[in-house]
Structure 1
Amino acid sequence: MDATLAPVTPLHVLRHLVTAVLCPSRPCPDTAPRLASALVLLLLPAALLYPTLDFHLLEPDEGRYAQIPKEMLQQGQWIVPTLQGEPYLDKPPLMYWLTALSYWLFGVSAASARLVPALAVHLTILSVYFLGRRSVGEKAAFWAALILTLAPGYCAVARLLLLDGLLTLCITLSLLCGYEAVRTGRFRPGYWLAAAVASGLGFLTKGPIAEILLFIPLWIFTFLTHGPGASRATPPPAAVRPVWYLLFFAIVAVVNLPWYVAIYLQQPRFLFHFFWQHNVLRFLQPFDHLEPVWYYLPLLLAGLLPATPLFVVHLFRLFLRPAHDPSRPALPEFFWLITALWCLLFFSCSGSKLPTYILPAYPPLCLALGAAAVRYRWHQLLLPRLSLAAMALLLACAFHVLIPLYARERSPYGRPELIDPFVADKSQTIVCFSRNCDSIAFYLDRSDLRSVRTRDVNHLYVACHFRPRTVILFTHREALAGFRNALPPSLMIVETVSLRRSYGHPWLDKILGITPWGLCDIAVIAPRSLQP
């Protein structure tokens, strides 16, 4: 049948709407990097990130992710991560390996540990510029990288000692390279293979989420821009033959299988624990961190400041401006927008939600906003420039002064003069009740702090009878009271110290907290028969 007489389907209309109405413009041809842009993106993030790494670890995540690679380095055990000497099977090892390498090069410290996520943040910003310019143009990529640098929801969070900053780097590189492999209409194998390596490293950081956030937007974009009904004003993305998908997953397997096989041989329960409990069940049947479905939208909008108004205006203009308007976006911008929206949708549907999960949405969203900033001439307006400068000063003040002060107030080891008399003796048995306090272990250079849950408190009571002194770190505000009420008559509390304090105003107590994160009280327990 003649193509001109072929029936028009809703899919044809949808493709025409995307390629000829929503995104009819051609991509910017000016993609050559500029020295001034590169210098700004080298120096500004460096000034914000690297001088501000050495502040107290924040419980619980930073303490945990500082302690695991420390034990890995001390024990020479590179296969099975351990926490307080026990196997820790919640996550793959790439972040631990890199942090242990940083310890080996620069010594064990909070700054050495945070150097890994800080480098990941900086490399993500640079990749947005140097790789993103190929699809959206040099000027748009520069503004995208600058918006990303000054987005507090990204830069202030991803620099912390968490897995999500490194994961965001891997996902961003895989998206940038994967899109470049198909963008021009001619498949480019080199970019495809680079995307596979980055995706494999993402898998080795936090599991299959790296592949989920790559392939779904690529397939959606190809489906909407390739085939009958799509405009031919710009080349459609290249089709990827099955053999290249096989090669992609083969590279992911080569990166990951050696460690996954090795840990399975030593800890057979890892595969079920990690893939089923910490991936599938946390998504479908969460056991912690339950939040509403709209949880990430306000976080993302607030985290984009001062570019949030640009994002809101961009969404409205995308659908309300006439098709012939020269300020309509090009297809690459549409790809980055649906990539960010897919990330937002996926994590919004997850049952378990943490603020850091949404970090991979920031780089693609900033690429879309960078293109919008140039097209709307937002970057030439005085108010946006002043707001970006103000945000840079605010972040510098927060990173250099406010966050270190806040971390000291909330750190379990923020007041060592109260804690050291109880824990300085390395032969002293220390028990955490009712959850870990890994920051204390990190600062004391110990890996033998035992944690006892509330359900196992009777075992703790029994063990206390066989030791002259047991120091217990109470990690919950009500834990000491409950422990005291159930204490057997044969045991007694010899000494206690409370880390609670008031700042004089209820709102200050609420912001700063009346106790550190992860440590509220310390007590010494002894058998009554051994007391004079």
Structure 2
Amino acid sequence: MTGRRPFALWLVAVLFAALWFGTLEYRKLVKPDEGRYGEIPREMVATGDWLTPRLNGIKYFEKPPLQYWATAAAFSAFGEHHWTVRIWPALTGFLGILFSAWVAALLFGTAAGWVAASVLGGSFLYVMLGHTAVLDMSLSVFLASAVFAFVLAQRDGATPRQTRNWMWAAYALLALAVLTKGLVGLVLPGATLVAYIIWQRDWGLLKKLHLASGLALFFLIAAPWFVAVSLANPEFFNFFFIHEHFQRFLTKVHRRYAPMWYFVPILLVGLMPWTLALFGALRNAAKREAALRFQPQRFLLLWCVMVFGFFSVSSSKLVPYILPIFPALAALIGAWWMQASPAVLKWQALLWAPVGLAIVTAAPFMVVFGDEQMPVAMFEAWVPWMIAAGLGLAAASVLAHWLARRERRLAAAIALGLGGHFACQVGILGMDSIAPATSTWHISQKIRPELTPDMTFYSVGMYDQTIPFYLKRTVQMVEHTDELKYGIEWEPQKFMPTFAEFVTAWNAAPKAMAMMPPDVYQRFVTQNLPMREIARDTRRVFVVKP
């Protein structure tokens, strides 16, 4: 390797880091997830209660608190901004790329590590979720990193001390996964371990798990909050462990049912522009390496199969659920890429040029999705961004093809990865064009001058997850429970169940402000309820008491 090549690689890495973190502030928060995961930490900072998560002032036990804590810490240090809402998934996602690349380099060679970084940093689903305030990115990084730590602990050549230390790291990472999203952080790695032992008949592996000390470390990290929150909130245990875990997996109570094949297209599209490489990598990973006792690629393959299969049979499915397999897939693709024939790499790279051009061609037709609530003009503003994304992907594909033809396979991988990252980032940034319909940032700027601290703000017949964050206060919900049904059952005094009660409270209040759907507003107009309209958009009308 020449002296110039490492410098160029690290220069690309610095450029990538700037691209990764540089766009976090641009977009408005999107309902429901980004509003929710911004508001819960905001209330932690405002109230000083970091034990019991609350959404709009109401108990919210759907998820553990690790991301809330991290975001609240960012708020305390840097203030409440779009980028501080998103910094935890962005930071964990970026560290996930670095760790995946380092592990792939250690296991399969330095070049494979750089390819793995290119794959992960350029995959559409990974990039999208790394720039969105949801829990799935940090969960995926903790889970995948725990799996990587296990592989490093059990690999041939690891000393007893290395095995112990990496196993401890795996247990600690699993504890962080549990603190992020619950028991799934323990079930999936455990199932993968059992499946691997049975497949390989490697029962001796059980002696190298450091089970006693590892579980002690796991519970030391994960258990205190669960014990403390259960003692403070008697309803927590049944809701979190029974309703949010067993009922979510076994029943359709969350209304997220989808067919068994649901994740197949998500994987194929989400891994773009590396989808073709996936098949060669999986086939390569299934082969047994005769010289090795522990089979790293087979273990990573099993991890992917177990996660994909687990969520495919679940009765609750959402797009981000399969993200934990992406770091392992990136490592496997990195190993395959450096062994694949130049002819295969050429066509793997060139495939995405017509895909990019198809995006360019289809972009103007996005306007067909326009309607009364999301007008055509919003989609028209998004079109140039999508055209730029398609052109960027096509250009990167052609460049990667050209480099692959010259057998510069690492450079080809980096070009394709940067192209995928650019295309995804530009498409996501363009999505801010529809923010007036998916966020309350714009409308909140209009109403803020009339909202005084002594006013009650009523959310009548609707609830938008982003409104409390932008108003920096909780709102009085009326009739519509949204996803706070269970919290309202525990704290019914914080909810107004009927329009009649709202009318009484509104008439009695010296000053008040309300948000409501247009049809509800017209209903109150016909009742001559004293109110003055101060702002409206395609979904909401805002009024004050005159």
**Same-fold call, TM cutoff 0.5:** yes
2:225 aligns with 259
Q: 2:438 & 2:467 partners in 1: Cα distance?
A: 13
In structure 2, relative to structure 1, the CA distance for the partners of 1:389 and 1:445 (3 Å cut) is closer
- The Cα shift of 1:308 comes to 0.4
CA 254–437 in structure 1, closer or farther in 2 if over 3 Å, else same: same
SS at match of 2:466: helix
Equivalent position SS for 1:295: helix
TM-fit CA distance, 1:264: 1.2
User: Residues 419 and 498 (structure 1 numbering): CA distance in 2 closer, same or farther, change over 3 Å?
Assistant: same
- Contact 1:196 1:249 survives alignment (8 Å): yes
Q: CA deviation at 1:226?
A: 2.9
Aligned-partner Cα distance in 2 for 1:465–1:488: 15
Q: Does 1:438 align with 2:465?
A: yes
Partner of 2:259: 292
Aligned to 1:177: 149
Counterpart position of 1:395: 424
* 2:108 aligned residue (113, 136, 144): 136
Aligned length: 456
Shift of residue 496 of structure 1? 6.9
Amino acid at match of 2:17: A
Question: Could you tell me whether the CA contact under 8 Å between 2:534 and 2:542 is conserved in 1?
Answer: yes
Q: Is the 8 A contact 2:149 2:166 kept in 1?
A: yes
Residues 356-390 of structure 1: CA deviation (Å, up to 9, x unaligned)? 22211211111111112112146964427354443
Map of 1:61 onto structure 2: 33
Mapped to 2, the partners of 1:365 and 1:167 lie a distance apart of 16
Q: Deviations over 1:1-33 (max 9, x none)?
A: xxxxxxxxxxxxxxxxxxxxxxxxxxxxx9xxx
Q: 1:447 aligns with which of 474, 488, 495?
A: 474
Provide TM-score, normalisation by structure 1.
0.77
Q: Is the 8 A contact 2:282 2:301 kept in 1?
A: no
- Which structure carries more helix by proportion? 2
Question: Is 1:278–2:244 an aligned residue pair?
Answer: yes
Work out which of the residue numbers 478, 497, 507 in structure 2 matches 1:456. 497
1:318-370 Cα deviation digits (max 9, x unpaired): 78x9x999xxxx93222222211211111112212221222112111111111
1:97 corresponds to 2:69: yes
**Correspondence for 2:167:** 192
Please tell me whether residue 413 in structure 1 is matched to residue 377 in structure 2.
Answer: no
Aligned position for 1:206: 181
Which has the larger displacement, 487-496 or 245-254? 487-496
Q: Which moved more, 1:48-57 or 1:309-318?
A: 309-318
CA distance in 1, matches of 2:11, 2:264: 30
Write the deviation string for residues 97-137 of structure 1: whole angstroms up to 9, x where unpaired. 11111112212211112111111111000110112333333
Select the residue among 192, 209, 222 that pairs with 1:217.
Answer: 192
Deviation string 1:174-209 (CA, Å, 9 cap, x unpaired) is: 111112222328661111111000000111111111
User: What's the counterpart of residue 50 of structure 2?
Assistant: 78
Aligned match of 1:515: none
Change (3 A) 1:334 1:238: same
Cα distance in 1, alignment partners of residues 188 and 29 from structure 2: 30
- C-alpha deviation, 1:487, in angstroms: 8.5
Task: Report SS of the residue matched to 2:261.
Answer: coil
In structure 2, the CA distance between the partners of 1:525 and 1:419, relative to structure 1 (3 Å rule), is closer
Q: RMSD between aligned alpha carbons?
A: 3.3
Instruction: Give the corresponding residue for 1:507.
Output: none
Distance in 1 of aligned mates of 2:24 and 2:238 = 36
Answer whether contact 2:280 2:336 (CA < 8 A) is retained. Answer: no
Mark the CA change 1:134 to 1:37 in structure 2 (over 3 Å): closer, same or farther: farther
Give the Cα–Cα distance (whole angstroms) in 2 for the partners of residues 271 and 217 of structure 1: 27
- 1:23-42 to 2 correspondence within 5 Å? 39=10, 42=13
Q: Measure how far apart 1:48 and its partner are.
A: 2.1
* 1:472 aligns to 2:439 (yes or no): no
Decide whether aligned partners of structure 1 residues 324 and 246 sit closer, same or farther in structure 2, where only a CA change above 3 A counts: closer
Match of 1:331 in 2: 295
Partner of 1:309: 276
Contact 2:118–2:416 (CA<8 Å) still a contact in 1?
no
- Is 1:203–1:209's contact at 8 Å kept on the other side of the alignment? yes
Rounded Cα–Cα distance in structure 2 between residues aligned with 1:311 and 1:448: 47
Instruction: Give the conservation status (yes or no) of the 8 Å contact 1:158–1:165.
Output: yes
- Alpha-carbon deviations, 1:279-323, whole Å to 9, x = none? 11111113233322222111111011111011134456778x9x9
| Shift in alpha-carbon separation, 1:79–1:495, aligned structure 2, 3 A | same
Identical aligned pairs, as a percentage?
26
Q: Which amino acid aligns with 2:430?
A: L
Kept after mapping to 1: 8 A contact 2:285/2:297: no
Q: Which stretch shifts more, 43-52 or 342-351?
A: 43-52
Indicate the residue corresponding to 1:499 in structure 2.
Answer: 537
- Measured at CA, do residues 121 and 284 of structure 1 come closer, stay the same or move farther in structure 2, by a change above 3 Å? same
Relative to 1, partners in 2 of residues 1:345 and 1:41: Cα closer, same or farther, differing over 3 Å?
Answer: farther
Q: What's the offset of the Cα at 1:162?
A: 1.1
- The residue type paired with residue 521 of structure 1 is R
**Aligned twin of 1:231:** none
The gaps in structure 1 that reach 5 residues or longer are 1-29, 228-236, 501-519
Contact 2:285 2:301 in 1 (8 A): no
1:240 paired to 2:206: yes
Higher radius of gyration, 1 or 2: 1
Deviations along 1:432-465, one digit per CA (max 9) or x if unpaired, are: 2445323222122213443542792244344334
Deviation at 1:277?
1.2
Q: TM-score, normalised by structure 2?
A: 0.75
Q: Is the 8 A contact 1:185 1:238 kept in 2?
A: no
Contact 1:164–1:357, Cα closer than 8 Å, also in 2: yes
Distance 2:267 2:505 in 1: 48
Asked if 1:49 is matched to 2:20, the reply is yes
